Structure 1
C-alpha cells in the first residue's frame, strides 16, 4: 500500500477509535512507547533463531521435496482465475511452492483455511494435480481472490468468531489448518481464538500453516502501519514444546539463500518487493 494511503487509512481509523465514534482498531496507552525501537529495528530473536537452526535439516528436506515437484510448479503460469499464478505478492514463490508441495506429499483429507485467496488456489491446484479427494473449508468474510469455480472449496463468508470452532473439529492427523487472518493478537481477536482455543484442541499430527511470520526477525519496517503482533504469540507457542517447525520461508530466504536459489525456487518468478513469510508447524 502506498505510504500516503497507509497513513490516511491509519489516521481515519485511529481517530474514529480514539474519539469513541467507532471501534476501528486498538489504542494502548504506554508511557514509555517513545523509548522503544520502531518496527524493523529489533535484533533477531536469538533463542528462536537457534531453534530454527536446529531444524535446518528439516527445512532443507522440504526444499528437496519442492524440487521434486519442479515440473508441476513450473507448469503453473498466468491462466485466468481461479487458476493459481506466480505474478502476485500476496502468497509469493516459496510460500506457494511449499504449500503445493506439502499437499502433494501428505495428501490431506481436509484443509481448513482462516483467510483465503491465492493460497487456496495453490492448495486446490496441488490436490488436482495429485488426484486427491481433499476438501477445503475456507473461512473469510471478504476473500481477496476469486474462488468461484473451485468445486472442492466450501467458502464460509464469515469472521472466525462467527464461524465458530465447528470446522476445526473435523481435522485429523495428516490434515492442514492454514492461518492468514488479522495478524492482531488482542483479547477476542481471531488470533487469540486460534492460538489459545483452536490450536490447543487439535489432534497430534495436524499441520499448521501461519502466514506473514518473519521469525526470527522483526516485522518489516514498512509494515509498521499494519500493527501486526501475531508472531509475538507464535514464538512462545513453539518454544514451549509440542510443536515442530517443518518449514520457514523467511528463514530459508534469508539464511539459506544459496540453497533456495540452487533449486526450482531460483527459477520461479518472484514479484519485486514480495516477501516470503510462511511458517509450517506440525503438532506433536
Structure 2
C-alpha cells in the first residue's frame, strides 16, 4: 500500500487535491481503484500521461508556430470578418476590473477573463439569441446576464446546467433565480429534448469537465447532444487552445484533460460544424488586428472556440 500511495502522490497535481479528499472523498477507495492498479499512471495503456515523457517531447507538443491542422478548416477569412463584426460592440463594454455593485461580472477573476468575456459579450449582442443553454456555469454566466440586462432588453432566456452551482448563485442578483432556470445535476441526466428547443441563432455554451471518459459529460455532449442540434445553433467550448494542446504549465500542474483532442478529431473533415471564432488562434496570429480593434483581448487571449452547425 505504501508503494501505491507513493506512486499516486507522485502524479502532478494530485497533492493539490488533498483538501478535496479531506472533505469526504474515500482515499482508500482511490488507492484500491483498478484503474490505478491494473495500468499505473504513465503506462502506455493508462490515460494518465507520464510527465517525463511529455516534457521529453515538449518542443514538438507545445509548438507556437502551427497554423494548419490537417482536415480542420480554420476559416481564417471568416474569423477576420467575425472580428470586424464583434468589434462594433467593443466601445460599449460595461465590465469593471474589480467587483462592484453595478455588475455581476468583473475582469479580474481566474476563471473567465478578458478575451473570453469580451467575445462572449459581443457574440450575444451580435446574435441576439432567444435562448442560451449553458453547461458549466460561473463567471461566464455573469457576463451573459449583465449583457442581457444592459443590451438585450432582458429578452434572452437562460438555462444553466450546473451540478455545483455555488459560484453561480454567488454571482446572481435578486431576480436571476426567479427569471432563469438552474438545473442542479450533470448534463448526462438532462433530457435530450431540452437541447432540441434551441433554434438557429441560439447558443449552447459548454464549459464542463474537459474530460472524455466512460460516462463523462464531454463524451455525452459530443456523442449525444451535438448531433441532435438544429441547423444554425451556435456552440461554444471553453479552454480550447489554437494548437489543440493544453498549455505546458497546465500539464505540469497535472491537468490530464483531453477535450481539446476530441474536438480536433470532431472537426476533422467536418463540414457540418464550422468554426466562427477561435480566441487563442486569433490572439496568436492576429495580434495587430486585435490591438487596433479590441485591445483588451490581448491582456488574456483566452480559450473559447465558437462554431455553428450548418444546414
Q: What TM bracket, shorter-length normalisation? A: 0.7 to 0.9
CA distance in 1, matches of 2:262, 2:152: 34
SS in 2 for 1:48: coil
Pick from 269, 273, 281: which aligns with 2:307?
281
Aligned to 2:129: 108
For the structure 1 residues 216 and 20, does the alpha-carbon distance in structure 2 shift closer, same or farther, using more than 3 Å as the test?
Answer: closer
For the structure 1 residues 280 and 103, does the alpha-carbon distance in structure 2 shift closer, same or farther, using more than 3 Å as the test?
Answer: same
Superposed counterparts of 1:135-214, under 5 Å: 135-143=157-165, 144-145=167-168, 146-149=170-173, 150=176, 151-214=178-241
2:135/2:187 contact within 8 Å kept: yes
Under a length normalisation based on structure 1, what TM-score does the superposition of the two structures give? 0.83
SS in 2 for 1:37: helix
Aligned to 1:263: 293
Pick from 46, 51, 54: which aligns with 1:37?
54
For the structure 1 residues 198 and 268, does the alpha-carbon distance in structure 2 shift closer, same or farther, using more than 3 Å as the test?
Answer: closer
The Cα offsets for residues 2-39 of structure 1, whole Å up to 9 and x where unpaired, read as: xx99441357688753423999xx96642696584349
CA distance in 2, matches of 1:134, 1:27: 48
SS in 1 for 2:54: coil
Q: Which region of structure 1 is more displaced relative to structure 2, 38-47 or 113-122? A: 38-47
TM superposition shift of 1:79: 2.4
1:69/1:101 contact within 8 Å kept: yes
Pick from 153, 157, 181: which aligns with 1:131?
153
For the structure 1 residues 27 and 280, does the alpha-carbon distance in structure 2 shift closer, same or farther, using more than 3 Å as the test?
Answer: farther
Aligned to 1:87: 108
Aligned to 2:118: 97
Aligned to 1:71: 91
CA distance in 1, matches of 2:186, 2:266: 23
1:183/1:228 contact within 8 Å kept: yes
For the structure 1 residues 43 and 125, does the alpha-carbon distance in structure 2 shift closer, same or farther, using more than 3 Å as the test?
Answer: same
For the structure 1 residues 269 and 217, does the alpha-carbon distance in structure 2 shift closer, same or farther, using more than 3 Å as the test?
Answer: closer
1:110/1:175 contact within 8 Å kept: yes
Matched residue pairs, number?
Answer: 273
Greater RCO structure (CA 8 Å; 6+ sep): 1
SS in 2 for 1:123: helix
Aligned to 1:243: 273
- Show structure 1 runs of 4+ deviating over 6 A: 11-15
Aligned to 1:17: 30
Pick from 226, 229, 232: which aligns with 2:258?
229
CA distance in 1, matches of 2:182, 2:103: 14
Under a length normalisation based on structure 2, what TM-score does the superposition of the two structures give? 0.77
TM superposition shift of 1:62: 2.4
TM superposition shift of 1:70: 1.9
CA distance in 1, matches of 2:250, 2:155: 38
SS in 1 for 2:95: coil
Report which of the two structures shows the higher radius of gyration computed on alpha carbons: 2
CA distance in 1, matches of 2:265, 2:33: 34
For the structure 1 residues 217 and 234, does the alpha-carbon distance in structure 2 shift closer, same or farther, using more than 3 Å as the test?
Answer: closer
Aligned to 1:60: 80
SS in 2 for 1:235: helix
SS in 2 for 1:61: helix
